[in-house]
Each structure stands twice: as structure tokens, then as C-alpha cells.
């Protein structure tokens, strides 16, 4: 399969780089400056599961010559409209589009642009950053990418894509990808809402008077919304979420908080706002999520529109 990764940032660069190293036919679609850097230096990854430097193919939008078999999209939600237009020449009649964005909101936009039959469901679990020199730093042992069909006619293509992915990294194939996406979403919504609202790590919040009760209530709101929408988290995920969010020693905070601390743009609507609306549509009360979303919107109103 000819696979195109939009961008070569931290997430796309990590998975695309691992796949290229394994010998898959991978191309990165990027801006000219990053393309020149990749063609000169290759993808560089520093990781506890193994460092790598590997040459890769890289093109700009004007250099797309023909559709690809699969296009992997790991853009931020606030860049989705631009991303759709950027990949449009690379999406043909038989192409598959695999978004790795958070939440669910992006699926409707991609379905409108390319047709639901071309759009798979997907998610990843990884902690990575990109240095100014182009080096991707991977923290911790986890780096998984899960994808699967949303429609029966996508099963064969999704399975074939999984076989390719499995050559390069921890790839997982989900028979119910929407449920898998909800399991990630309810957790990151709770993590982002709590740590951004309090400007603190999980442990720092839990060490306050009322902190454990606050964290537990926020997690329960997210669970209630997911359940009301038909996707109750599995017991293992419930146990994980409640244990992590109740840990008095945890230094974990959401990546959204790190974005706020550097004055950057955030995915407030995609991660928190949309889960609030889906709760409201099912008559689920979410007072803590409501408060967190107001807080995040107020932050967005303070940052320059050009950021």
C-alpha cells in the first residue's frame, strides 16, 4: 500500500517514521521547509523503545501526482479544514482516510468532504514532542495506533492497512472502533478538564481539600455522557481512569495544559465542548465539564488569533 502521512510532526512523524524504517511505502505531505529538512536529515526519533534515523520520502501539496491507498491524518482539530483541502488531491475513489484526531467531531467533516465509505475510525496513545531541529522525542513505553472500519465495506481495506502498520509499530485493529474512540475520549476529556481548570497535575489536585471528590465527580460525568450515548467504558478502562485520576502522587497532566502554559492554541471544543453538548442532548448534567469548557473558551478569547 502507498501510504501518505499528512505532516511530520510528533505523532505522524513517529508512526510514519517507524513504518518507513520497516520498509513500507510511506510518504510525508508537508510544507517546503520541513520537506527540505526531512530530505536532508531523515526522520529522527529518540525513544526508550529504540532510537532511529531513517531517510523518508517527502512532498508538498503541489507535488501530489496520484491518489494514495491510505492517507493518515494527525492534524489538530483547529487545522482540520485546511488539512482536508491539503489532502484532497491525494484521496481517490478507492483511498482510505484514517484520522487520528481526538473526540468525534472531525468524522462528520471528513465524511462530508470524502464520503463516509472512505473514512475509517482511528486513535493513538502516545506521548511525543517535536524539537526545533526536527527530532521527535517519545516518552514512556506506550506508542499504539488503533484503527478499524466504521462500515462493513471498509473491513478488507482496514485489515490490509493493519497488516502494513503491524510491520512498524504496535498496531491494533478494532472491530468496534467508535467504542474504542469513546474510551479514549471520556478519559482525555476528564484529564484535560481537570488539569487545565486547576492549572495543576493530577497529584497536585488530589492533594487538596476536596480534590479527590472533584476528580471522581468529573470522571463520573464523562462516564455518564459516554454511557448515555451508547458507549459505556469497559471495566478495565473504568478501573484505569479512576485509579490514575485519583493518584495523589501522579505528575501527569493533559497535553492541553502544556499548550496553555506556552500560550498556544487548544482543542477545547473538540475534546470538552463536544462531550458537553452530547451530554446535554441526552439530558446528562455536566456542571464540572460546563465550568471547564467556559474556562477553556475564556483562555481562547485571550490568545492572539494568529497563534
Q: Phi/psi at 262 (nearest 5 deg)?
A: -95, 5
Residue with cell 497536585: 204
Taking alpha carbons only, the member of 67, 70, 81 closest to residue 5 is 70
Indicate which residue of 21, 184, 251, 305 is catalytic: 184
Task: Write the DSSP string, 112-128.
Answer: HHH-GGGB-EEEEEEEE
Cβ burial of 209 (10 Å; 0-12, 13-18, 19+) is exposed
Question: What nine digits make up the cell of 77?
Answer: 482539530
Taking alpha carbons only, the member of 5, 135, 76, 112 closest to residue 270 is 76
Our answer to whether residue 305 is catalytic in this structure is no
Give the residue ranges of DSSP H helices in the chain: 10-21, 32-41, 80-87, 105-114, 155-165, 177-198, 202-206, 211-228, 235-245, 255-261, 268, 274-281, 287-302
DSSP 303: S
Cα gap 58→7, rounded to integer Å: 9
Cα gap 283→142, rounded to integer Å: 36
Q: Are 195 and 271 in contact (CB under 8 A)?
A: no
Cβ burial of 239 (10 Å; 0-12, 13-18, 19+) is exposed
Which residues are part of the catalytic machinery? 184
Amino acid at each position: 500500500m502507498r501510504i501518505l502521512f499528512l505532516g511530520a510532526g510528533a505523532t505522524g512523524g513517529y508512526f510514519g517514521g517507524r513504518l518507513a524504517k520497516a520498509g513500507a511505502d510511506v510518504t510525508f505531505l508537508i510544507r517546503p521547509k520541513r520537506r527540505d529538512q526531512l530530505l536532508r536529515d531523515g526522520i529522527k526519533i529518540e525513544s526508550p523503545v529504540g532510537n532511529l534515523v531513517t531517510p523518508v520520502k517527502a512532498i508538498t501539496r503541489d507535488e501530489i501526482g496520484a491518489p494514495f491507498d491510505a492517507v493518515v491524518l494527525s492534524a489538530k482539530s483547529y487545522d482540520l479544514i485546511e488539512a482536508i483541502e491539503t489532502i484532497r488531491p491525494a484521496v481517490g475513489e478507492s483511498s482510505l482516510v484514517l484520522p487520528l484526531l481526538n473526540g468525534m467531531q472531525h468524522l462528520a467533516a471528513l465524511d462530508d468532504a470524502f464520503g463516509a465509505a472512505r473514512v475509517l475510525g482511528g486513535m493513538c496513545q502516545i506521548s511525543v514532542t517535536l524539537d526545533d531541529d526536527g527530532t521527535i522525542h517519545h516518552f514512556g513505553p506506550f506508542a499504539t495506533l488503533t484503527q478499524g472500519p466504521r462500515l462493513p465495506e471498509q473491513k478488507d481495506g482496514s485489515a490490509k492497512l493493519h497488516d502494513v502498520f503491524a510491520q512498524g509499530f504496535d498496531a491494533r485493529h478494532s472491530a468496534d472502533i467508535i467504542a474504542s474512540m469513546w474510551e479514549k475520549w471520556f478519559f482525555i476529556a476528564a484529564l484535560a478538564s481537570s488539569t487545565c481548570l486547576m492549572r495543576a497535575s493530577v497529584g497536585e489536585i488530589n492533594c487538596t481539600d476536596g480534590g479527590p471528590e472533584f476528580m471522581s465527580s468529573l470522571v463520573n460525568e464523562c462516564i455518564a455522557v459516554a454511557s448515555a450515548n451508547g458507549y459505556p467504558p469497559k471495566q478495565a478502562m473504568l478501573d484505569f481512569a479512576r485509579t490514575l485520576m485519583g493518584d495523589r502522587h501522579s505528575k501527569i497532566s493533559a497535553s492541553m495544559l502544556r499548550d496553555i502554559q506556552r500560550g498556544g492554541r487548544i482543542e477545547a471544543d473538540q475534546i470538552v465542548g463536544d462531550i458537553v453538548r452530547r451530554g446535554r442532548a441526552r439530558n446528562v448534567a455536566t456542571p464540572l465539564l460546563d465550568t471547564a469548557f467556559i474556562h477553556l473558551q475564556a483562555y481562547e478569547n485571550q490568545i492572539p488569533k494568529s497563534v
